[in-house]
Amino acid sequence: MSGALLRIEHLKKEYPGVTPLKDVNVSVNEGDVIAIIGPSGCGKSTLLRQINQMERSTAGKIFFRDEEINAPGCRADLLRQKIGMIFQSFNLFPHLTVIENIMAAPTALLGLSRQEAYDSAKALLAKVGLLQKVFSYPDELSGGQQQRIAIVRALAMKPEILLFDEPTSALDPAMVGEVEAVIRQVAESGATMMIVTHDMMFARRISNRVFYMDEGGVYEEGPPEEIFERPKREKTRQFIHQLKVLTLSIESREFDFIGCHTEIEAFGRKNDAPQDVVQSLLLLFEEIVTQLLLPLLPETPCILWNVEYDPKEERAEVSVRYNGEPFDVMESDNELSLRIVKGCAENIRYETGTGEGEPANCLRFAVWHRAVHD
């Protein structure tokens, strides 16, 4: 026995031309409230559909209470009685009243009498503030009210885990708070939950664990204070801080200088960077790459120019990795170029050591919008 309520091992899901899940390995314990975050298309919703067996896995195993639920012959209909799913678009039956929507599954699948299902539904509606809507139809409700009913419908089955797929993304901003309040209420009752969301503040407030998904799996996981304040991995940090990234690779002395300049300018325009930041980046690229580095690098240079731009702070953090023997480019004899670099950049520092496959020398510096910095 593993002790985990849910365990996923080497899960893979392929579609024609794309593989959103390449190798997912995680476990979920009873009482966990897990926020699943990450860029669009990284497989967040796909992961929930695999857990609820709405789609067949390409490879890997999913265990629920140590039963392999994606094995051939496993009955998905029985599984879904234990795993509740709340979608973006509510999915209420339009021809049924609120109370009928909630009663349908418990009477048909759990064997509850109509009176038992009715009493249970009314009690749940009272908890979410919608008892007065018992006999209303879905089209008579606001989006926020419909989503609260969808949550109640899932709770009426007394599931062992609840899966939320972007539960507030289809709502008007004014309705988001009422749905989030109900989800927090459910979480405080001790329910086990996995919530796909783009709302970082909500993810941080409600969860005890966060999964950041990227590169076909759970790229980094940890408690919310760690993921949101001290992420350990680069892509997590870029996503959390909403950084815009530009990477240029230079592998020849005859590289396309004009093309690189154009990319930097386009990057600045796309992200509404102040003109002085863009101009500083252009000048720094020219001085560091062409004047300071290329004259000193081996015959076959390798330079990685990486910019992380923070739109909120109007600040660019730049790292320049380069090959060759360890040397600090800021100790060059080219006094004019050094003066220009020091006039445009701040917090200049040299480091050695790198990850696998990257040049060992690294120059880091920051470029600020002068109006903000001053």
- pLDDT tens-digit profile of 267-288? 999 999 999 999 999 999 999 9
Q: Which residue has tokens 């903000």?
A: 372
Report d(CA 9, CA 39) in Å as an integer. Answer: 22
For residue 51, pLDDT over 60 is answered with yes
CA 133 to chain centre: 35
Summarize pLDDT for 192-240 with one digit per residue, the tens: 999 999 999 999 999 999 999 999 999 999 999 999 999 999 999 999 9
Residues ≥6 apart with Cβ < 8 Å to 247: 304, 305, 306, 307
**What is the SS3 assignment for 85?**
strand
Answer for the pair 68, 74: CB distance below 8 angstroms, yes or no.
yes
For residue 145, pLDDT over 50 is answered with yes
Report DSSP state, residue 97: -
Whether domain 6-237 has CATH 3.10.20.30: the reply is: no
For the chain, the structural domain boundaries read: 6-237, 244-373
Report d(CA 348, CA 319) in Å as an integer. Answer: 10
Report DSSP state, residue 289: I
Q: Name the pLDDT band for 92 (thresholds 50, 70, 90).
A: very high
Q: What is the pTM of this model?
A: 0.81
CATH of 244-373, one of 3.20.190.10, 3.40.50.620, 3.30.565.10, 3.40.630.10: 3.30.565.10
Q: Name the least confident of 73-77, 207-211, 259-263, 368-372.
A: 368-372
